[in-house]
Structure 1
Amino acid sequence: MTFKPLILVPFLATPAFAGSLDQTPVEPAPVAPVAPVASPVTGDWTGPSVGVQLGYGYADPDGPEDETSDGAVYGLNAYYDHDFGNWIAGAGVEYEGADIDLGEAGDLESMARVGGRVGYDLGTTMVYGQGGYARAMTDGGSLDAGDSNGYYVGVGAETYVADNVTLSGDVKYNEFSDFDDDDLEIGATTATVGLNYRF
């Protein structure tokens, strides 16, 4: 009787006790999410914009009605600007409603403007001077003053607060001397803040 086959039994059984030869998969370490980085606000002023404004107006009539008065002003504007690098040039229109009592000259109800502006580019802010044609509309009053052509000049600043949104503020002097009553002249100063969308 031979024992050779019995001697081989332990060696043949060894793989069964050693477990699987496949490696256990390693779970990848969790990766923390990366917070999105906000894109920086650029300072490109080229393009159209629309906005709203709200503020204060002060009127100083000269003529038959010399009583000064003040009140709220509010309105809309639309501009187109071109950024030349350090300098910005643009043109636009504005319409402001008003509620300023002019006594015998009635009420200053609104002002419309068409003009231009030239600004200096400070990056995300521009400062500018402006001027152009203005028209005042009045209503009521014993003088029946009607409407008047005139002009305006002013200074202002506008700054980006988001990619397409700016805040602005300006002060304008408006003068009107072409009313139906030839003796009436009105100087009106307005100070407004605005919120604008730039395309």
Structure 2
Amino acid sequence: MKLLISAVTGLSIAAAAPVMAADWTGAYAGFGVGYGDTDGPGSQDGDNATFGGHIGYNYDFGNNIVVGAELEYDRVGIDLGGAGGSIDNIGRFKLKGGYDFGPALGYAVVGAARADTSFGNDTGAVYGIGMAFPVTDQWTVSGEVLRHDFSNLNGSGSDFDTNTFNLRASFRF
């Protein structure tokens, strides 16, 4: 009986302990949900829930430094109010640089974002921060806060800034 109690206690402690990602190297793909908020000139502002998918690759140098690249696509559907139109989708190409804290990976991103809007398409800059946590050897959850800057959106003479917050789940191959 003592052996059974010891085994159950040991398994409970092992199950409660966070998974340590010894190596972040490899490809991954996943999905995310979040929130987006766009600010434009005058009353051309809006916000909405977001959802989409991502695919990427990380390389862990083994000295706590991790770099990677990622493609991401989000359906945002942000109505800009009045005659402002809408921002429908945002696609991103991101370069990532991070630090392996053991049970988590903190990282910064920079890259390019493409906004598909009701009045045309345009490319701008994206930058932000994120934190990833392994749940199992293959699944991670992460959160990202990103800023998108679109200057002179589609030749309109107007600048639009979009902030997004995404919660993501990724499967590591």
Q: Please classify the TM superposition score into its range, dividing by the shorter chain length.
A: 0.7 to 0.9
CA positional deviation for 1:69: 1.1
Residue 90 in structure 1 maps to residue 64 in structure 2: no
Q: Distance in 1 between matches of 2:103 and 2:27?
A: 16
Residue pair 1:147, 1:178 contacting (<8 A) in 2 also = no
CA positional deviation for 1:122: 1.0
1:195 to 156, 169, 172: 169
Residue 174 in structure 1 maps to residue 151 in structure 2: no
CA positional deviation for 1:68: 1.7
The SS at the match of 2:33 is strand
Q: Any stretches of 5+ residues in structure 2 without a counterpart?
A: none
Residue 124 in structure 1 maps to residue 103 in structure 2: yes
1:148 equivalent in structure 2: 122
Question: 1:10-159 alignment to 2 at 5 Å?
Answer: 41-43=19-21, 44-62=23-41, 65-85=42-62, 86-103=64-81, 104-139=83-118, 145-159=119-133
RMSD: 2.1
The SS at the match of 1:100 is strand
Q: Distance in 1 between matches of 2:34 and 2:146?
A: 11
CA positional deviation for 1:77: 0.5
Identity fraction in percent: 34
CA positional deviation for 1:178: 4.3
Q: What is the identity, as a one-letter code, of the residue corresponding to 2:52?
A: G
Residue pair 1:53, 1:194 contacting (<8 A) in 2 also = yes
CA positional deviation for 1:49: 0.5
The alignment's TM-score, normalised by the length of structure 2, stands at: 0.85
Q: Distance in 2 between matches of 1:54 and 1:147?
A: 23
Equivalent residues, number: 161
Residue pair 2:153, 2:160 contacting (<8 A) in 1 also = no
Residue pair 2:87, 2:116 contacting (<8 A) in 1 also = yes
